[in-house]
Each structure stands twice: as structure tokens, then as C-alpha cells.
């Protein structure tokens, strides 16, 4: 039996993980608490830990897991910025879910964009009170507008396809442009200057942290709409707020927030929100915030569970090789030079 400590567990996680894990004699210890230095000892006696985007998997946590005999850290997400992959190398193997449902995230980005631009949320609230006035609900056509897409991985390219369906002009920026594509790649400065809408679909790294800051916003068109369904740290939230107050940013659609770890995924409706910056952003009439739900579709949850279970089983199989391992050894964390013919250590 493979025992797995499942941190930051939610009710919607359990059915799919039990469905895919039970036939393989996997035992999940579902824990509501997030993984951090104070909760790491809850994994004692387990062979694996399963973590999500707001769990803290730093060097201290990794060392403690290693002392407890944990063999593998299984991320049930694509992003791994919350895991110190360097510190894990040589101690604990790390795996992730590179593509659970890129359609879910891309479609949510469009849903946020449509809701914001066409004032759907405002109209919904009005009509529930039998207010059928159209004043203040004027939006703009997507057709003919230019959208700048930062990051052209699977999610970014699906988002591009949807935008083209609306008749939008698409330009993009990526450090590693997609080969043999018809995407028009431009510099970051050109993208900022030409785009009516800027949508973020890139990972959070040291290079991309606060990619959207005061300097970037200054280069953008007046009235630009900014969409972020990737990672909160891509945007300097203070700079975004100032851009909104200065009427430079026309609207912001945010599914993620840099300091979301202790806020998102929980019901805070009966409490005073201590994060003044998030409170001010939410209070703005041209800001829409959803609580990191872009991934949340039935298809995505099933794919996440199936892939995560498969990742864990792969480690404990005879070969121990997993295509989704994150390896620090060769510097190519996701595309290991060993071509997955053997374990990274």
C-alpha cells in the first residue's frame, strides 16, 4: 500500500483521487491544512505527499519530509514555483501535471474577459433587483481588437485560437516561441504598446516575477484590459492598482493574486479581510477577481487525479521512471536531457 499525505484537500478533490487511487491500493490521508514548516510532520509515515499551488515546499520542508522517509512530492498542478526543486534534488523526487485541461484555463480567461468588457456581472446584479437600465453597461467589440498574449504554451495557444474565432488580431511574446506556428511574435515592449488586451499565460519564474509592473503599464495603451489566469506574482498588484486609479488600465480580470495563499480557496465572507491591497482591488468597479478557479472543471479534476496517481505509481514501479518528473540536475527542469530513460538521481 502506498500512503500519501494529501495537503490542502478540498471536497471536490476527494472523489476523483479515490476513484483512480483505490484500484491500486493507494491510501490518501486527506488534510485540510496547507503544507508548511508547521504541518510537515503530518506526513510522517507516508511514502508520498500530494501538494497544490499554495503549499510551501521550501528547503526546510523538503529536509523534514526526507527525514520522514517521503520518497516523492506530487504536485497536482502544472506550476511548481512553490517548490524548491534545487533543494529536492538528490533527496526527494518531484513530479507535476503538465497539462490537465488547457481548455479550462483558456476558456475561463475568455469568460472573465467577456464578463468584464460586456458588464455581464453588473447587468446580472441589476436585473435581480428589477433594474433594467442600460446606463453604464456599454462595452466594446472584440472583433478587430489586438490581444497581446504573453506565453504561448498549450494554454496560451488555445486562448489564441479562441481569440481568432472572435476576429481579434493576435500578437505574442515568449522567450521560447512555438516552432512552425503562424503566431506573430513581437518584443515585450511592442506587445505592450499595441495591445488593447494583455493576457498572461506564462509560468512564474525569477525572470517573470512582476513582469507587469509600473514601467510595463506605462508603456501600454490607455484603457488596456489585463487578464491573468496564470500566477499572481506575474503582476505587481500595487502598480496595477495605481494604473487603475490613474485611468491607464481600463479593466483587470484576475483569477490569481500574489498573496493569495492564506485567502483563496476558503470562505472568508464572515471575516474582515486583512489584505488591504486585495480589498482595494476588489472594490474597483472595473476589476473582476475569481479565486483561482480557472482549472476547476470536471474534466480537469479527473485529468489531475489520473495523472497524479500515475506519477506516484510510476515512481514505485520497477523502472521508477516518470515522464513528468521535475529534475534540477541538467538545468532543463521539464525537459530532462536524460530523456526519461532513467531516474534523475
Which grid coordinates belong to 184?
Answer: 506573430
Q: Give catalytic residues, as residue numbers.
A: 231, 260, 292
Which grid coordinates belong to 341?
Answer: 530513460
Contacts 24+ apart (CB under 8 A), 292-298: 292/53, 292/255, 292/256, 292/260, 292/264, 292/265, 293/108, 293/255, 294/104, 294/105, 294/108, 294/109, 294/229, 294/255, 295/77, 295/100, 295/101, 295/104, 295/105, 296/12, 296/104, 297/101, 297/104
**Helix segments in the chain, DSSP class H:** 14-21, 59-67, 85-88, 102-117, 120-128, 154-165, 188-194, 214-219, 237-245, 276-283, 298-316
Q: What is the DSSP letter of 23?
A: G
Task: Count other C-beta atoms under 10 Å from residue 184's C-beta.
Answer: 10
Residues 6+ away with beta carbon under 8 Å from 179: none
Half-sphere exposure of 333 (CA within 13 A, CB side): 18
Instruction: Walk across the sheet containing 93-95 and list its strands.
Output: 26-30, 2-6, 48-51, 72-75, 93-95, 325-326
Cα–Cα distance for residue pair 257/280, rounded to 1 Å = 13
Amino acid at each position: 500500500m502506498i500512503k500519501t499525505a494529501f495537503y490542502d484537500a478540498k471536497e471536490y478533490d476527494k472523489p476523483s483521487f479515490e476513484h483512480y487511487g483505490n484500484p491500486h491500493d493507494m491510501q490518501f490521508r486527506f488534510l485540510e491544512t496547507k503544507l508548511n514548516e508547521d504541518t510537515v510532520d503530518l506526513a510522517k509515515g507516508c511514502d508520498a505527499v500530494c501538494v497544490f499551488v499554495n503549499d510551501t515546499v521550501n528547503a526546510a520542508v523538503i529536509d523534514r519530509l526526507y527525514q520522514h522517509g517521503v520518497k516523492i512530492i506530487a504536485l497536482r498542478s502544472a506550476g511548481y514555483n512553490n517548490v524548491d526543486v534545487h533543494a529536492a534534488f538528490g533527496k526527494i523526487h518531484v513530479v507535476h501535471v503538465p497539462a490537465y485541461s488547457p481548455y479550462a484555463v483558456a476558456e475561463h480567461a475568455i469568460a472573465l474577459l467577456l464578463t468584464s468588457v460586456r458588464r455581464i456581472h453588473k447587468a446580472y446584479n441589476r436585473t435581480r433587483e428589477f433594474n433594467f437600465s442600460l446606463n453604464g453597461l456599454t462595452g466594446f467589440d472584440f472583433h478587430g481588437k489586438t490581444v497581446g498574449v504573453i506565453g504561448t504554451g498549450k494554454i496560451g495557444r488555445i486562448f489564441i485560437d479562441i481569440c481568432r474565432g472572435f476576429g481579434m488580431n493576435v500578437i505574442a511574446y515568449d522567450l521560447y516561441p512555438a516552432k512552425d506556428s503562424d503566431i506573430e511574435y513581437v518584443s515585450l515592449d511592442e506587445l505592450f504598446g499595441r495591445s488593447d488586451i494583455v493576457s498572461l499565460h506564462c509560468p512564474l519564474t525569477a525572470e517573470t516575477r512582476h513582469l507587469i509592473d509600473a514601467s510595463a503599464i506605462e508603456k501600454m495603451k490607455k484603457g488596456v484590459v489585463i487578464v491573468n489566469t496564470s500566477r499572481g506574482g506575474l503582476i505587481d498588484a500595487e502598480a496595477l492598482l495605481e494604473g487603475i486609479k490613474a485611468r491607464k488600465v481600463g479593466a483587470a480580470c484576475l483569477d490569481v493574486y500574489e498573496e493569495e495563499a492564506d485567502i483563496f480557496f476558503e470562505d472568508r465572507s464572515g471575516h474582515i479581510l486583512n489584505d488591504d491591497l486585495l480589498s482595494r482591488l476588489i472594490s474597483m468597479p472595473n476589476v473582476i477577481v475569481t479565486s483561482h478557479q480557472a482549472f476547476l472543471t470536471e474534466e480537469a479534476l479527473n485529468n489531475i487525479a489520473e495523472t497524479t496517481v500515475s506519477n506516484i505509481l510510476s515512481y514505485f514501479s520497477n523502472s521508477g521512471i516518470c515522464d513528468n518528473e521535475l529534475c534540477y540536475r541538467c538545468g532543463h527542469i521539464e525537459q530532462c536531457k536524460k530523456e526519461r530513460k532513467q531516474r534523475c538521481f
